[in-house]
């Protein structure tokens, strides 16, 4: 997992949002390296509105960082 994040700079806000989702997911993968366990837990959070909202919040935090790094694509 060394060179998976070469830059925070993206062409468009939509690409920046994709990067924010990736940042969130990579943290989960680093924290729980066992794919089998992640797959089991996926089934739980995928059907729990509160946990989906929490996941959205994590993405929103990363998106704020990515947007700032890109000077809000101005």
User: What CA–CA distances, in Å, run from 69 to 31, 37, 40, 56?
Assistant: 25, 33, 35, 20
Cβ of residue 56: shortest distance to ligand HEM, in angstroms? 7
Cβ of residue 25: shortest distance to ligand HEM, in angstroms? 5
Whichever of 41 and 68 has its CB closer to ligand HEM, that residue is 41
- Residues in contact with ligand HEM by CB under 6 A are 21, 24-25, 28, 32, 38-39, 41-42, 45, 55, 58-59
């Amino acid at each position: 997992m060394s060179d998976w994040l070469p830059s925070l700079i993206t062409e468009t806000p939509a690409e920046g949002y994709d990067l924010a989702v990736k940042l969130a997911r990579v943290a989960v993968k680093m924290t729980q390296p066992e794919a089998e366990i992640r797959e089991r837990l996926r089934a739980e959070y995928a059907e729990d509105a509160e946990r989906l909202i929490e996941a959205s919040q994590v993405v929103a935090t990363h998106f704020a960082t990515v947007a700032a790094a890109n000077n809000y694509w101005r």
